Homo-oligomer: A and B are copies of this chain.
């Protein structure tokens, strides 16, 4: 089937760090599973990526903050959005656990 049998299998308890697992890699694309267990981005840290990223919350919930927006966006289970390249953002909050699916795209 796969070396990664189930998207929803996760750590039974809180881990210190988020878990990143690459599910698929092809030229220009990488599909990644992320398990958050309550983490947030460090204070003052902003992601600033060269390529677009499509991200979905499969389980749990999170708050995603964009630098050019006054308030974080709340992402519930099943919510998804495209984070355009060079759009600075950070994770303000995650539920324990939160399972993300991210599709990282090469710069256009």
- Tell me if B81 and A1 are in contact (CB < 8 A): yes
Number of copies: 2
Residue from the set A7, A76, A77 with the largest chain B CB neighbour count within 10 Å: A7
Q: Which residues of B contact A5 (CB under 8 A)?
A: 79
What is the predominant secondary structure among interface residues of chain A facing chain B?
A: strand
CA separation between A24 and B101, bound complex, in Å? 14
Whether the Cβ atoms of B31 and A28 lie closer than 8 Å is no
The answer to the question of A91 belonging to the interface, with a C-beta cut-off of 8 Å to chain B, is no
Chain B nearest CB, measured from A55 CB (Å): 11
B103 touches A56 (CB 8 A): no
Query: Known: A58-B58, A101-B101, A103-B31. Is A78-B26 also a contact (CB below 8 A)?
Result: no
